[in-house]
Structure 1
Amino acid sequence: MTASEERPERPEPEERPEPAATTPDERPVARPGGQPASHPDELLRIEGLRKTFPGVVALDNVDFDLRRGEVHVLLGENGAGKSTLIKMLSGAYRPDRGRILAEGREVRIDDAQAAERLGIATIYQEFNLVPDLTVAENIYLGRQPRRFGLVDHGRMRADAETLLRRVGVDVRPDAKVRELGIARLQMVEIAKALSLEARVLIMDEPTAVLTSEEVDKLFAIVRQLRADGVGIVFITHHLEEIAALGDRVTVLRDGRSIDQVPASTPEDRLVQLMVGRSIGQQYPRERPDAGEVLLSVRGLTRDGVFHDISFDVHAGEVVGLAGLVGAGRTEVARAVFGADPYDTGTVDVRGQRLARHDVPAAMGAGIGLVPEDRKGQGLVLDASVQDNLGLVTLRSATRSGLVDLKAQRTAAARIAKQLGVRMSGLGQHVRTLSGGNQQKVVIGKWLLADTRVLILDEPTRGIDVGAKVEIYQLINELTASGHAVLMISSDLPEVLGMSDRVLVMAQGRIAGELATEQATQDAVMALAVSTEASDEHPAPKNAEEGPRGH
């Protein structure tokens, strides 16, 4: 695998004592105006919050509260308003209407400093760390301890080391942040929040890029913080984490707070609250008969990264590519697409031999790649939906140096409608779309180019369950029309549920192939941990921690 992950074994919900009954002395007085009474341990309350952007109502009359010593899960589809809500709590946005109360007192959170003074710390999906500064400098950025007017580097390193030990990460305080992997960056962000002595900690999908061992460490830290009285707002798309860690769940849908339920609520009920309907089968794979070989890879080798990779993908087929962190899956996909070089081997599309390290040749032959980093590599975030959908077909739509904008717009409108992209219009900036809709745009640009072989690298990471099923249905439509899909995923149930065959990589090699009837989680993991790779071909250079699977 790349620095991606496999989903963890579903943790058992921990047993927690029932909350003590409220005594008469603790009973709070009801708020004026009919608002419900606050809890004696309430840290934060949001009442009737509304936020609009041009053409979009992001939040509409949202209510939410957080208590000391609880994990309150914020659940909703991409675009439901979760990010807007936490940005208002962190001072990035101001509400148009409604109010925020901290420990019973109405407050204004105009900027990050105001949030910090209220003891609110936020850990975003995209980390707010400066790559060229050290770990200690990032933890205390803007708050460095001083002595005689100068930064006290010794004390700063010592304090940072204490915090890093507390979160259980083995990182030197003077290490540059750019040297760290994703998991360690996550822990540095948590250490930074602890340095603020936060009473409210907001965590936006903190497990999305962690291995199972790292998830266990993170959960242990969260439980300790909860025991210390910190209130935690936890955002996740992985429903199995809710019962394992949460206390209460507030569900947002279309910018509104729909319901507040216990974390023990069954997953199918949570899904129904999120999407407003039953989504049916989680992995609705339709398996048409396989046709001709569209993609043929033989002996693909890049020294120190992957070795002797050979496989075929047929028309109408989904081939899954599974393995552990660092197995080399993404590197193989990028080499097939021409984005990365390789030393030996061949790539043929419908019998046509492709030149090495030549993306235009791969695209011309009908290969498309949806990268795992959709924001960094798959989209131009500050361009419109229309412009992003037309990226691949721009050259073919150009005549005598002029782009046929009308044809591009017509095609973009057709594909956006087909994929159900939720947007205010084709001119909306892609940056402002939800994660699921961004992914639809990335896939849509390849559909416009009539791509015959589509490589999907982590196609549903960071996407809610409703949008996932829409992506799966799109995969079915592609294969039913004779296209082929090579799907890399660290979510083992997804690989097993959507693949017709599974190739398992270990240490840069294909360790085995499993047909649908043979492909179980145990069988995949047995191959993924195999150690038959030759010593003369070491494990991939980017190998990191361990596996992550359901």
Structure 2
Amino acid sequence: MEDIILEMINITKTFPGVKALNNVNLRVKKGEIHALVGENGAGKSTLMKVLSGVYPHGTYTGDIRYNGELCEFKDIKSSEKVGIVIIHQELALIPYLSIAENIFLGNEQGKNGLIDWHATTAHTQELLAKVGLKESPQTLITNIGVGKQQLVEIAKALAKKVQLLILDEPTAALNEDDSANLLNLLLEFKKQGISSILISHKLNEVSKVADSITILRDGATIETIDVQTEPVTEDRIIKGMVGRELTDRFPKRDVVIGDVIFEVKNWDVYHPLHGDRKIINDVNLTVRQGEVVGIAGLMGSGRTELVMSIFGRSYGQKISGHVYKNGQEVHLTDVSKAIENGVAYVTEDRKQYGLILIDDIKRNSTLANLNKISNRYIIDENKEIVEVEKSRRQLNIKCSSILQPTVNLSGGNQQKVVLSKWIFTEPDVLILDEPTRGIDVGAKYEIYTIINNLAKAGKGIVLISSELPEILGMSDRIYVMSEGRITGEMSQSEATQEKIMRHVINR
């Protein structure tokens, strides 16, 4: 008989108005990497929250067997006590504490109420060596990048003597090198007998490291594939996830490109805290009506800093240069001025900057253009409902009602609400910063369709993406950025991944 570390049997979890999990079954072997895939809202994160005690026993039905024993976890501490550790997509580190303090927070080294800092530092060094991180234990979290923060979270899990490590979209915010390092680390853990459950929308990564793949759709188990014995293709996984074959990842669009609608000239930006450090250096770009302009580059290349500084000077200091709309210079000195001039920006971080998560879909959707639904500064609630319902239908936002809190939506539907908010401002130029980060292939296709419809309506679209296939599949023209400069420009017909990467490297 196979050595099984985890069985989740007929797990059912209900929220008001929706059955999030419906008799889900999951079986994980000892020392394997088990991928859990599905569309946003399929129930992956909910299932892992049931397993880890975030949703305690009694709030769901079904059984959890861990190392052969029936478990009834009341909270996260009780699951961690037996070696189950979950690392959420939003990292739970405290920026202004050191690496050592974060790793042992709640698990302090010492006795009689006193922390043994010598032991804490020594243990931290051992753990950092295991995950391949060479930082000092005293380094503050705020001073290291997201990739290294992810390794700190894993070191924190190792400190809790993890046997089953759950990673929820661990590479969503990482570049290719950091993603590869993390996946190699999982393979190393596998050799040490540690089991992993990997939730990911990046199917190429799943195919690379997973021993088994369980597909969820609409809160139910579709199938579990044994990678060692069965042929696995991305097309098979996608069909299981979305219930249909997705023959073309990028919807076709009839491109009708007009005149230049938006232009940036000689744009320079300095760091908001370090005034002598130039972040954006003499950038020039144009966007035409009906055109999707992609901006490619590695994380840290200056893409987000560029568009944020353009959008109401939301980033940086000592900003200089010129912005033109339809040939006339405009001064986007703050966000309100940018909106008034028909420029909108969909941030890469929808949860922190894009949405008020505790508020409902209705308010989030209209927040950026209250004048449209107001009369003498008083909101016309009936008009607001009509407008938001129209947006919900157009963007196919899946929700119980427009009064549903956005925090309870899947990532893909949250992203649609952010899009609806900025489309509601009736922009001529829409800047999209990583618009499909952390969402599944089905939801991505819907976002792509929305982008194409906006371009067809004559909008100018700026698309930032770290996924080169997305840049190549959606853009009419591509700029490449590196170290705050534009290092290349090419049309879709001449662009390739290799050519883009050459411009990234050859600064």
Classify the TM-score, shorter chain.
Answer: over 0.9
Separation in 2, partners of 1:529, 1:256 = 44
Q: Secondary structure at the match of 1:100?
A: strand
Separation in 2, partners of 1:215, 1:415 = 35
Q: Does 1:319 align with 2:305?
A: no
Separation in 1, partners of 2:381, 2:75 = 41
Question: How far did residue 398 of structure 1 move?
Answer: 2.1
Q: Secondary structure at the match of 2:293?
A: strand
> Which residue type is aligned with residue 115 of structure 2?
V
Separation in 1, partners of 2:332, 2:431 = 17
Question: How far did residue 154 of structure 1 move?
Answer: 0.3
Q: Which moved more, 1:383-392 or 1:211-220?
A: 211-220
Q: Secondary structure at the match of 2:152?
A: helix
Partner of 2:420: 444
Question: How far did residue 297 of structure 1 move?
Answer: 1.0
> Which residue type is aligned with residue 519 of structure 1?
A
Q: Which moved more, 1:488-497 or 1:140-149?
A: 140-149
Of 311, 331, 336, which aligns to 2:305? 331
Of 91, 97, 100, which aligns to 2:53? 91
Q: Does 1:52 align with 2:19?
A: no
Question: How far did residue 294 of structure 1 move?
Answer: 1.3
Separation in 2, partners of 1:56, 1:69 = 35
> Which residue type is aligned with residue 143 of structure 1?
N
Question: How far did residue 147 of structure 1 move?
Answer: 4.4
TM-score by length of 2: 0.95
> Which residue type is aligned with residue 131 of structure 1?
P
> Which residue type is aligned with residue 343 of structure 1?
I
Q: Does 1:305 align with 2:279?
A: yes
8 Å CA contact 2:260–2:289 kept in 1: the answer is: yes
8 Å CA contact 1:501–1:513 kept in 2: the answer is: yes
Partner of 1:16: none
> Which residue type is aligned with residue 193 of structure 2?
G
Q: Does 1:402 align with 2:378?
A: yes
Q: Secondary structure at the match of 1:127?
A: coil
Identical columns (%) = 40
Of 481, 491, 506, which aligns to 2:482? 506
Q: Deviations over 1:129-184 (max 9, x none)?
A: 22232211211112212145521110011001100011001111122222221111
8 Å CA contact 1:45–1:66 kept in 2: the answer is: yes
Give the 5 Å matches for 1:258-297: 258-263=222-227, 264-297=231-264
Of 173, 176, 188, which aligns to 1:212? 176
Separation in 2, partners of 1:207, 1:149 = 37
Question: How far did residue 528 of structure 1 move?
Answer: 1.3
> Which residue type is aligned with residue 416 of structure 1?
R
Q: Does 1:368 align with 2:344?
A: yes
Partner of 2:274: none
> Which residue type is aligned with residue 221 of structure 1?
L
Cα distance change on mapping 1:148 and 1:105 into 2, 3 Å: closer
Question: How far did residue 342 of structure 1 move?
Answer: 5.1
Cα distance change on mapping 1:149 and 1:434 into 2, 3 Å: closer
> Which residue type is aligned with residue 265 of structure 1?
V
Cα distance change on mapping 1:65 and 1:91 into 2, 3 Å: same
8 Å CA contact 1:381–1:430 kept in 2: the answer is: yes
Q: Secondary structure at the match of 2:296?
A: strand
Partner of 2:369: 393
8 Å CA contact 2:295–2:465 kept in 1: the answer is: yes
Q: Does 1:111 align with 2:75?
A: yes
Which is bigger in relative contact order (C-alpha 8 A, separation at least 6)? 1
Of 351, 354, 377, which aligns to 2:353? 377
Question: How far did residue 356 of structure 1 move?
Answer: 4.3
8 Å CA contact 2:12–2:61 kept in 1: the answer is: yes
Q: Does 1:419 align with 2:395?
A: yes
Separation in 2, partners of 1:393, 1:277 = 37
Question: How far did residue 227 of structure 1 move?
Answer: 1.3
Of 197, 215, 223, which aligns to 1:233? 197
> Which residue type is aligned with residue 175 of structure 1?
T
Q: Secondary structure at the match of 1:305?
A: strand
Q: Which moved more, 1:186-195 or 1:354-363?
A: 354-363
Cα distance change on mapping 1:342 and 1:501 into 2, 3 Å: farther
Report runs of 4+ in structure 1 exceeding 3 Å deviation: none
> Which residue type is aligned with residue 323 of structure 1?
G
Of 148, 154, 158, which aligns to 1:190? 154
8 Å CA contact 1:285–1:472 kept in 2: the answer is: no
> Which residue type is aligned with residue 85 of structure 1?
L
Gapped regions of structure 2 (runs ≥ 5):
271-277
8 Å CA contact 1:335–1:357 kept in 2: the answer is: no
Q: Secondary structure at the match of 1:144?
A: coil
Separation in 2, partners of 1:409, 1:51 = 30
Q: Secondary structure at the match of 2:461?
A: strand
8 Å CA contact 1:57–1:255 kept in 2: the answer is: yes
Of 130, 138, 158, which aligns to 1:174? 138
Separation in 2, partners of 1:119, 1:44 = 12
Q: Deviations over 1:211-249 (max 9, x none)?
A: 222223212221121111111100110110122100001
Partner of 2:28: 66
8 Å CA contact 1:284–1:473 kept in 2: the answer is: yes
Gapped regions of structure 1 (runs ≥ 5):
1-26, 28-38, 532-550
Separation in 2, partners of 1:261, 1:313 = 45
Question: How far did residue 265 of structure 1 move?
Answer: 1.1
Partner of 2:499: 523
Separation in 1, partners of 2:180, 2:319 = 39
Q: Does 1:130 align with 2:104?
A: no
Question: How far did residue 63 of structure 1 move?
Answer: 0.3
Q: Deviations over 1:459-483 (max 9, x none)?
A: 1110100000111111111111111
Separation in 2, partners of 1:298, 1:137 = 46
> Which residue type is aligned with residue 359 of structure 1?
V
Separation in 1, partners of 2:175, 2:169 = 14
Q: Does 1:77 align with 2:39?
A: yes
> Which residue type is aligned with residue 16 of structure 2?
P
> Which residue type is aligned with residue 217 of structure 1?
N
TM-score by length of 1: 0.87
Separation in 2, partners of 1:469, 1:247 = 27
8 Å CA contact 2:213–2:226 kept in 1: the answer is: yes
Separation in 2, partners of 1:216, 1:516 = 27
Partner of 1:547: none
Separation in 2, partners of 1:482, 1:43 = 55
Question: How far did residue 280 of structure 1 move?
Answer: 2.6
Q: Does 1:252 align with 2:212?
A: no
8 Å CA contact 1:135–1:176 kept in 2: the answer is: yes
Q: Deviations over 1:334-364 (max 9, x none)?
A: 1221123553211122234222432111111
> Which residue type is aligned with residue 335 of structure 1?
S
8 Å CA contact 2:264–2:286 kept in 1: the answer is: yes
Q: Deviations over 1:75-124 (max 9, x none)?
A: 00000001101111111103421111111211101101110122100111
8 Å CA contact 1:287–1:317 kept in 2: the answer is: no
How many residues end up aligned between the 2 structures? 493
8 Å CA contact 1:291–1:314 kept in 2: the answer is: yes
Cα distance change on mapping 1:147 and 1:92 into 2, 3 Å: closer
